[in-house]
Structure 1
């Protein structure tokens, strides 16, 4: 039997839930097409093996330990960047699991698979304090990347008083999104549960997007404290570029912080409960007492005080950062930009924070 096949694939998320569907159809003897859609834990190589085997018999079956291999073509939408990398199906599984949820469309053709991959090849998930050592400098410093309130050096110093080398950079392959509930807003009385204006900011991979960020260094000794403080987030080590296009010297931990609000990247409720919480008791201690049953969701809106703070931080940094925040930050629907959202409600930028929080939330 011929092993020719073609795959069309796209990856995404719907209402924060991973959806997977596989469809197969034979076109000609020895030639089969697959349509694959999936998200969080999609395993392309395994599913292709299963589908091909079911259609053509055991002679094409592969061991799960011997995944499909091929040339993977990387192409950035909207950019003239393209290169090939010879990798295994296992590598693809690892990348999709690591980058979760959002991947570009791809086409896979022939026995030597050709696939469009993501543009954030160097993203590494940091699961605990010990794993942060891989991005520490010899002097014991960690590079931090801010994209919301940390666009303001003054705001950053509220959380990291001893930070060093505050500077501006650009991060490719990610976008900002207001899509999770922040307990700190409930604690401080600035969340509006009735109107659902209680979301904080995170980032998520998205091909073709770029955001202006800030980068600075903190002591490695500070890592355990802010991991505990920012318990619900996924920590990623990524590569930040200068605005002139040069790669920065150090990888940076992707995060945004407001009152210690560390955000490296979007997590999921399932992963958070499974990997971060030792049981219901811990979850209830952190969220249940506020009657929060879901953290990561697309039906909420930005906390007004926090949104104003972030917009002012971006505006005070420079024009590029301001435009980047307005046009590359989205509501949970992933469609409405912050520029569009503010045009619908101009009062957000006119509302002063509570007096006790005015300095910290002042942009």
Structure 2
């Protein structure tokens, strides 16, 4: 038993050292100086269709990419890889399907308030992170896409406000670009969030974390929430081998080096054998 604990401690130390040494270059975003118009994001040169995508700052930006019949496409890359999970949030969604997005990677860098509220965050081990995506040259991720009525956008913006909203152009697995841009929830920064989105201020916002002394949303030094990670892996597996292997090999810890496949073989070993709590079995059951 003592040997097992020593091994776990050693693995956690190795991961923590990797996380704290992370110096990988990030995407550069245009400033939010003009709140009346969508900002631009400079994409990696390897992106197939566009080297610039739009930042969606407000409802009018979302409405500008809606289809003629009033629907907006949403990209799913984590829990929304599961149609069951997606429908728990968007019960009236239509056209749920698999797609490909070039020039992005998944990263576990967002501290999830939902995980604390529902008792599945482990603050002691810092297994508290949810997924985001960020531009990355040479990377491609398998995602899901579906449409929601534009009337749902205000609630969507409020619920996902910690993210940066991008308008991107996914493609089918056969390589055909979507005819309409889709909304992607990408990594944000604490500075921008509290300046542009969080009207109640830092002190009130962080009250949701209670006694856990969490004072930062976007972090590179945290590990995936175990229940959430298991759900995402199972959801990806249910989409087929291509989506499953893509998730394992193109999803990373905050160090941007350790893939989820590597993590599940080391420090995260055993996560896939754990069951979600009864209250989350439908939402986080894969």
Q: Give 1:287 deviation, angstroms.
A: 2.1
Q: Give 1:129 deviation, angstroms.
A: 1.3
Q: 1:265 aligns with which of 186, 193, 200?
A: 186
* RCO higher in structure (CA 8 A, sep ≥6): 2
TM-score, scaled relative to structure 2: 0.83
Task: Check the 8 A contact 1:198/1:301 in 2, yes or no.
Answer: yes
1:314 aligns with 2:248: no
Matched position secondary structure for 2:231:
helix
User: Who is 1:347 aligned against?
Assistant: 270
1:338 aligns with 2:268: no
Q: Give 1:222 deviation, angstroms.
A: 0.3
CA spacing shift, 1:335–1:346, aligned 2, 3 Å? same
1:284 aligns with 2:284: no
Larger Cα-atom Rg: 1
Matched position secondary structure for 1:249:
coil
Q: Give 1:154 deviation, angstroms.
A: 1.1
User: Who is 1:247 aligned against?
Assistant: 177
How is 1:221-236 mapped onto 2 (pairs within 5 angstroms)?
A: 221-236=151-166
Q: 1:176 aligns with which of 106, 109, 118?
A: 106
Matched position secondary structure for 2:178:
strand
Task: Check the 8 A contact 2:98/2:145 in 1, yes or no.
Answer: yes
Count the aligned residue pairs. 255
Higher helix share: 2
Q: Give 1:276 deviation, angstroms.
A: 1.1
CA-based RMSD of the aligned residues comes to: 2.5
Task: Check the 8 A contact 1:124/1:236 in 2, yes or no.
Answer: yes
Moved more, 286-295 or 150-159: 286-295
- For the residues of structure 2 that align with 1:319 and 1:330, how far apart are their CA atoms? 19
CA spacing shift, 1:16–1:126, aligned 2, 3 Å? farther
CA spacing shift, 1:15–1:136, aligned 2, 3 Å? farther
Q: Give 1:346 deviation, angstroms.
A: 2.5
- For the residues of structure 2 that align with 1:160 and 1:39, how far apart are their CA atoms? 30
Higher strand share: 1
For residues 145-174 of structure 1, give each alpha carbon's deviation from its aligned partner in whole angstroms, at most 9, with x where no partner exists: 111111111111000111101111100000
**Structure 2 residues without counterparts, runs of 5 or longer:** 1-18, 32-38
TM-score, scaled relative to structure 1: 0.66
How is 1:1-363 mapped onto 2 (pairs within 5 angstroms)?
A: 40=28, 95=40, 98-99=41-42, 117=45, 119=47, 120-254=50-184, 264-278=185-199, 281-290=200-209, 291-344=213-266, 345-363=268-286
Q: Give 1:340 deviation, angstroms.
A: 0.3
